[in-house]
Amino acid sequence: MARLNSPEEVENFRQEILSKRDPNMPCISVCVGAGCIASGADEVIEAFKAQIEKEGLSAKVDTKGTGCPGFCERGPVVVIYPEEICYLQVVVEDVPEIVSQTIKENKVVERLLFVDPVTGEKAIHESDISFYKNQERNVLCNNIKIDSKSIDDYLAIGGYSALTKALSQMTDVEVLEEVKKSNLRGRGGAGFPAGRKWEGSRNAPEPIKYVLVNADEGDPGAFMDRALLEGNPHSILEGLILGGYAIGSHEGYFYVRQEYPLAVENINLAIKQAEEYGLLGENILGSGFDFKVFVHQGAGAFVCGESTALMTSLEGRAGEPRPKYIRSNIKGLWNKPTVLNNVETWANVPLIINKGADWFTQIGTESSKGTKIFSLVGKITNTGLVEVPMGMTLKDIIYKIGGGIPNGKKFKAVQTGGPSGGCIPEELLDLEVGFDELTKAGSMMGSGGMIVLDEDTCMVDVARYFINFLTDESCGKCVPCREGLRQMHRILTNITEGKGKEGDIELLEELAETAVEASLCALGKSAPNPFLSTLRYFRDEYEAHIKEKRCPALSCKELISFYIDPAKCKACGICFKKCPAEAIDGGKKKIHIIDQEKCTKCGTCFEVCPSKFGAVTKISGEPVPPPVPEEERMITKKSKEK
């Protein structure tokens, strides 16, 4: 491939790609994001290729692996174009049927369609699925349309047109002004206006400047950046080049966490392709603008998602944050002005340049513009990535898109903002999502993790879990964070183990206040949030643990016991067979009994007991009833007695 030397050449080349493609040619696209691969997408795509070849259809049908459309739970996801028929949870055995029915006969394989959990209706097209229908997918929408390893695919859907537009029609200042006008706020957590950050760096006197992509998506439960990095790497790269152009930087870096090997691979490939096409490197498209991009892998440290720690790590040192008397957009990487934005923020930039700031500001609320991708996970029916306009209520996200809580359970809270975020209870579900709205409710936007918790989740345990996470990830520089969190974790663990005592809550509050006041970086400052927000909304649960030694959610291992209700046990023997601790005493037609001494409380018996019996129950805060006396353990069939 020869280098493209001007914006016109890019447009001509795009037309050339399009002219070679037949939009009516059937195309089987299989999601090959990390989620679907875990569910066997690799095998499925190979099976499609083999089947197509076997049937002699290679010239007539295209097969490709695409990026993640976000519905990972129902993966592998297969979409057949041009009809856009969407099949879920496809396995290798389904492949011959799909090829013979859908490809050859144009018929739909009904059993692989999405069934709406509420209405029971089947959805043929992706756009009919309730999970997708209520979303507004501006950033994520292209993932499913392109092979993420093909730059031609990206060009075919209009990729790099923002770059050609900027280089041919806009000055660097105009690009900056457009981003400023769009009021795009950083998607990584703090929500700082990207345009202002850029302007600061642009105006800094130092001639060497850097632009960085924060792809160290450390928040557990958030995976939108992974989906973008794997599924549409060029969109992020295009945003980064535009950023470099706007602030006058000639060097960019991707800082990608090492846990995402596929993302690293795809980004490296995208850079190589863009260099070959002349979209990166020296004198990009004949504009005189030089820009190079490098990839740096993280090595497993959550704190490196923090801006200054990330830069220290990029310099090849241990990632510890530094005080920010001078912002990093003035003095950042190697003490040079550095703009660091999150993956999703960069991916929004080409859209803003292409469609204009006025288009962007139409979406969203007064202070939060555009769309935001959330990862809706936990105890929710439709799990996956959702992109919605800012200002949608939590209720709509959880019920309209997420389909509510599965298994007839009751909603308890939604945890947003990653480990340092907070839990939002049911009474606040009408809250409109936005940077400032979530902060007011005691939580935060964070990177957009949204973990739904149901009645089975213990809120004290949730707080303990996050504090434990942050204790582990604290870099150790500031004492209130390093030592304070450790003590908070101890106290919280005691509470969940039934060893809580009067005064624990007050002590926790004091430790929390100190960490908030006296830590250097956002990790320490926001670390007590999970405790503070759960205490604010679920104080009764803390008190039940401490005063009654009872876990209301029946979740804390040390405070619950498993018990087989003798009136309900039908001696089916399933729990007896499955119990890994051999703690169940059973026998034919004999009421089963759990030996409390041997029980490890793994919950297997509770899970395997057939729901029509429902004999295994959890007990907390009260003693376990004594076992049934041996002579009463035989089950006699009541119907025969009558």
Under the rule (CB under 8 A), what is the footprint of other proteins?
34-35, 37-39, 71-73, 75, 217-223, 226, 258-261, 296-302, 313-319, 375, 377-379, 383-384, 415, 419, 449, 451, 453, 457, 462, 465-466, 469, 473, 475, 578, 580, 600, 602-604, 607
C-alpha closest to that of 383 among 128, 123, 39, 71: 71
- Cβ of residue 33: shortest distance to other proteins, in angstroms? 9
Min dist. Cβ of residue 434 to other proteins (A): 22
In the complex, minimum distance from the CB of residue 302 to other proteins, in angstroms, rounded to a whole number: 7
Q: Is the peptide bond before 389 cis (omega within 30 degrees of 0)?
A: no
Closest distance of CB 258 from other proteins, Å: 5
φ, ψ (nearest 5 deg) of residue 66: -115, 180
Spatial separation of the C-alpha atoms in residues 512 and 514, rounded to whole Å? 5
Nearer to other proteins, 477 or 486 (CB): 477
- Shortest Å, Cβ 378 to other proteins: 5
Q: Which of 513, 530, 523, 516 is nearest to 423 (CA)?
A: 530
Interior/surface letters 567-600, b for 16+ CB within 10 angstroms, e for the rest: eebebbebbbeebeeebbbbeeebbbbbeeeebe
User: 220 or 621: whose CB is closer to other proteins?
Assistant: 220
Residue burial 366-377, b: 16+ Cβ < 10 Å; e: rest: eebbbbbbbbbb
| CB nearer other proteins, residue 65 or residue 319 | 319
Side-chain-side CA neighbours of residue 368 (13 Å): 22
φ, ψ for residue 296 (rounded to 5)? Answer: -125, 130
Alpha-carbon dihedral sign for residues 138, 140, 142, 145 = negative
Task: Tell me how far the alpha carbon of residue 157 is from its chain's centroid.
Answer: 25
Residue 175 Cβ, how far from other proteins at the closest point, in Å? Answer: 29
Contacting residues for 225 by C-beta, under 8 A, at least 6 apart: 215, 217, 342, 343, 344, 447
CA nearest neighbour of 564 among 590, 545, 526, 542: 590
499 or 578, CB closer to other proteins?
578
The answer to whether 452 and 380 have CB atoms below 8 angstroms apart is: yes
CB of 537: closest distance to other proteins in angstroms? Answer: 17
Least CB distance to other proteins at residue 399 (A): 18
Quick one: tokens of 476? 């150790």
Nearer to other proteins, 378 or 434 (CB): 378
- Given a contact cutoff of 8 angstroms between Cβ atoms, the answer to whether 571 and 589 are in contact is yes
Q: How far is the CB of 458 from other proteins (least distance, A)?
A: 10
**Residue 123 three-state SS:** strand
Residue 256 or 284 with smaller CB distance to other proteins: 256
**CB-nearer residue toward other proteins: 368 or 526:** 526
Nearer to other proteins, 104 or 578 (CB): 578
Q: How far is the CB of 66 from other proteins (least distance, A)?
A: 17
Structural contact between residues 37 and 226, judged by C-beta atoms closer than 8 angstroms: no
Compare residues 157 and 608 and give the one whose CB is closer to other proteins. Answer: 608
Helices 504-518 and 479-496: crossing angle, nearest 10°?
A: 160
Hunting for tokens 């040192």 — which residue is that? 317
Q: What HEC string does 433-449 produce?
A: CCHHHHHHCCCCCCCCE
In the complex, least distance from residue 69 CB atom to other proteins, rounded to whole angstroms = 12
SS3 for 148?
coil
**Kind and range of the H or E run holding 293:** strand 292-297
CB of 597 to other proteins, least distance (A): 17
What are 213's two structure tokens?
């992509």
List, in order, residues 6 or more apart from 487 with CB less than 8 Å away. 511
Host H or E run for residue 374: strand 371-378
226 versus 592: smaller Cβ distance to other proteins: 226
Which tokens belong to 224?
């939108």
Smallest gap from Cβ 297 to other proteins, in A, equals 6
User: Do the Cβ atoms of 432 and 522 come closer than 8 Å?
Assistant: no
CB of 558 closer than 8 Å to CB of 497? yes
| Cβ-based nearer residue to other proteins, 315 or 632 | 315
Tell me whether residue 160 or residue 469 sits nearer to other proteins (CB atom). 469
CB of 182 or CB of 447, closer to other proteins: 447
472's CB contacts (< 8 A; 6+ apart) are none
Cβ nearer to other proteins, comparing 391 with 573: 573
Among residues 317 and 440, whose Cβ is nearest to other proteins?
A: 317
Closest distance to other proteins from the beta carbon of 444 (Å): 15
For strands 114-115 and 616-620, give the pairing.
unpaired
To other proteins, the closest distance from the beta carbon of 295 in angstroms equals 9
